[in-house]
A = this chain, B = another copy of it.
Amino acid sequence: MDRYLVISSDCHAGLPPEQYRDYLDPKYRDAFDIALPIQIEETQKAAKKFLVADINAEWRKGRESLLSGAWDHDQRIKVLDGDGIAGEVIYPDGITEMNMPPFGAGLSLPTEDPIVPELQWAGARAHNRWLAEFCQMAPDRRAGVALCPMLWDVDEAVKEVEWAKENGLRGILIPTRWGKLDAYHHPKYDPVWAACQDLGMVVNLHSGAAPMEDYGEGQGMMGIYISEVCWFAYRPLTFMLWGGVFERYPKLRLMVTEGTSVWVPEYLQLLDFRYADTPYSAKLGDYTGHLSMKPSEYFSRNVLVGASCMPRREAEMRYEIGIENLAWGSDYPHPEGTWPNTAPQMRETFMDLPEDEITRMLGGNLADFYGFDASKLGRIAAEVGPLKSDFRS
């Protein structure tokens, strides 16, 4: 094949907020009607805080119909084809297109007041129902990730994993922050990991949430947020690694998305250093006996990192990160994403690297991880994928 098979590790989709009503369990529709205007107001406030209105209005100008690919099948196919992308992993959307699921069941799945667990579950399920339909419109191309606020209730979470599997979704998105609830090393979550392992569902962490309460409103808050947000995205990995989750569930797959990948080498060095028998750790007694491998070995086997809008530097670090642990992503339809400049950005990142390595990072790793049908997807890539010759100077 003279073209690359490209899969994006990081795309977003969600309905305009009022349209979620039909996907909601009827008993929550009264609550929905009350909550909707509040949600829209809150989303606008957040958008104002995180996105300077003028810049984004400017960016969106003339792109409105293509941006409606955030929920519209035809527009989305047009955008992805134009970007050379055959397949995609789909997360919920957020403040940019104002299309968040109801009741705080957004990308961050917060656990703090005023979130009501039962309602957040209802909102998550409304989104999952719609997403399952949306993915069925192009089942070979779309790996949908179900919202799963698992911290509230393990039994509900297991049910949702099963429902998502039955309905063609490929993984679950779990909160990256746990507030006062138990963190991810707690053995109570084992049934969720077991279900995901048994059903081949990928567990997903996506960046975005961070302790905004620490940042205040003043000068510097945005710089602090964007400096810390990646750490908070992969923080659960630290808990899962040391908690022995990948020891007990050796086939569990964990995806960490849009947290960059530059942290990986130093992070694994540190954890391996801590794991080894050093003077530092000697005084702390045996805290590694439940782990048969080094942290970096679990990482290598169980984890994939979604490098959204991957800059050249991350491609240059591919051996340190792990050539099989790194996956490019476009982050459509977000303004910080590669679209509508995907082709030149992709070339800048991968130019003159070995073909088999580009193949892995642009799509091969994701195909394996999420179970895309590479032959079916290959037929699409043969038409829309970027030419391999474009990556040779």
The answer to whether B283 touches A220 (Cβ under 8 A) is no
| Minimal beta-carbon separation of A270 from chain B (angstroms) | 6
- Return the chain B residue nearest A264 by Cβ: B266
Give the number of chain A interface residues (Cβ < 8 Å).
59
Chain B residues with CB under 8 Å of A377's CB are none
The answer to whether B221 touches A185 (Cβ under 8 A) is yes
A336 at the A/B interface (Cβ < 8 Å)?
yes
The answer to whether B262 touches A280 (Cβ under 8 A) is no
Q: Which of B239, B287, B336 contacts A222 (CB 8 A)?
A: B287
A223 at the A/B interface (Cβ < 8 Å)?
yes
Chain B residues with CB under 8 Å of A238's CB are 224, 227-228
A379 at the A/B interface (Cβ < 8 Å)?
no
A319 at the A/B interface (Cβ < 8 Å)?
no
Question: Which applies to chain A's interface (DSSP): helix, strand, loop or mixed?
Answer: helix
A51 at the A/B interface (Cβ < 8 Å)?
yes
A382 at the A/B interface (Cβ < 8 Å)?
no
- Return the chain B residue nearest A271 by Cβ: B227
Q: How far is the CA of A274 from the CA of B222 in the complex (A)?
A: 10
Chain B residues with CB under 8 Å of A223's CB are 241-242, 271, 274-275, 287-288
A52 at the A/B interface (Cβ < 8 Å)?
yes
For the complex formed by this chain, how many copies does it contain in all?
2
Chain B residues with CB under 8 Å of A269's CB are 262
| Minimal beta-carbon separation of A235 from chain B (angstroms) | 8
Which A163-194 residues have a C-beta within 8 angstroms of B? 178, 182-183, 185-187
| Minimal beta-carbon separation of A187 from chain B (angstroms) | 7
A residues whose Cβ falls under 8 Å from a Cβ of B: 50-52, 55-56, 59, 178, 182-183, 185-187, 214-216, 218-224, 226-228, 230-231, 235, 238-239, 241-244, 260, 262-263, 265-266, 269-271, 274-275, 279-288, 290, 309, 335-337
- A–B complex contacts, Cβ < 8 Å, 9 sampled: A50-B284, A52-B285, A178-B214, A185-B220, A220-B239, A222-B287, A224-B239, A226-B284, A227-B242
